[in-house]
Amino acid sequence: TVEALLRWQHPVLGPISPAEFIPLAEKTALIRTLSLWVLRHAVEQARTWQRQGYAFKVAMNVSAIDLANSHFSDALFEQLAISGLDPGRFELEFTESALCDNPDLTRQQLERLRALNIDIAIDDFGTGYSNWTYLRQLPATTVKLDKSLVENLDANEKDRRLVEAIVDLARRLGYRVVAEGAETEDVYEILCQLGCHEVQGYLIARPMTVSALEHWVNGEHSSKISQLRALGR
């Protein structure tokens, strides 16, 4: 899975982190426009990769506002129809905070998307309410463990036991489990032992442009992944 990351290069201030500008956009109507812009570009890129034969699934983050009505899901349906992209090559990620205001409406929108075979991921799991009662009612396919749970696995026994319990429960409920924050080989090996299906972090790769990603996949990626598979066998 390839995650679409949004970056802002301000002409005066320079690079501005999404952690700064996304919360500001969510306080205004701009977040809707921003999400639709990302959606169009993400679907277009996923379709290009599909034509080129890459087996990428593209994921993008959506906010609570995007799920508050049918506008975003309608736009996604339209983009998929226009592009011809296989819906199974697209994934939406949302945090647990999206459930707080109107969980019933959020669930309805997610069910519409899931019915089209779009994967649904619960992002940053473990930092919010982590309410399994909510989550088991959602058509989610993936739980993404927040990096704050993962980064000290090799040094903190309590963290390891907590992650082990979460992974075990998530797998029993049928979720695919992705661990964020795999920064070292020791942490990666532990995550493999605990049963995570996938990992995400700087140990695997850093954020990169489309061309750099294609070069990475076609080149140094092969030897790097072979080494990591040997560690986590």
Using CA atoms in the order 176, 177, 182, 186, what is the torsion angle rounded to 10 degrees?
A: -110
Q: Where are the beta strands (DSSP E) in 90-192?
A: 90-95, 119-125, 142-145, 176-180
Q: Measured in whole angstroms, how far is the alpha carbon of residue 31 from the centre of its chain?
A: 18
Q: Residue 196 — very low, low, confident or very high, per pLDDT cuts 50/70/90?
A: very high
Q: Which of 118, 103, 42, 27 is nearest to 73 (CA)?
A: 118
Query: Is the pLDDT at 191 greater than 50, yes or no?
Result: yes
β-partners of residue 16 are: 8
Stretch 189-199: mean pLDDT: 94
pLDDT recorded at residue 107: 86
% of the chain beyond a pLDDT of 70: 90
**Which H/E stretch holds residue 214?**
helix 210-218
pLDDT recorded at residue 213: 92
Query: Is the pLDDT at 23 greater than 70, yes or no?
Result: yes
Residues 137, 208: Cα–Cα separation, whole Å:
35
pTM of this prediction? 0.86
Residues 68, 140: Cα–Cα separation, whole Å:
17
SS3 126: coil
pLDDT recorded at residue 231: 45
DSSP 89: G
pLDDT recorded at residue 98: 66
Q: Which residue is it, tokens 């140094």?
A: 220
SS3 67: coil
Q: Residue 163 — very low, low, confident or very high, per pLDDT cuts 50/70/90?
A: very high
Q: Which of 107, 31, 94 is nearest to 61 (CA)?
A: 94
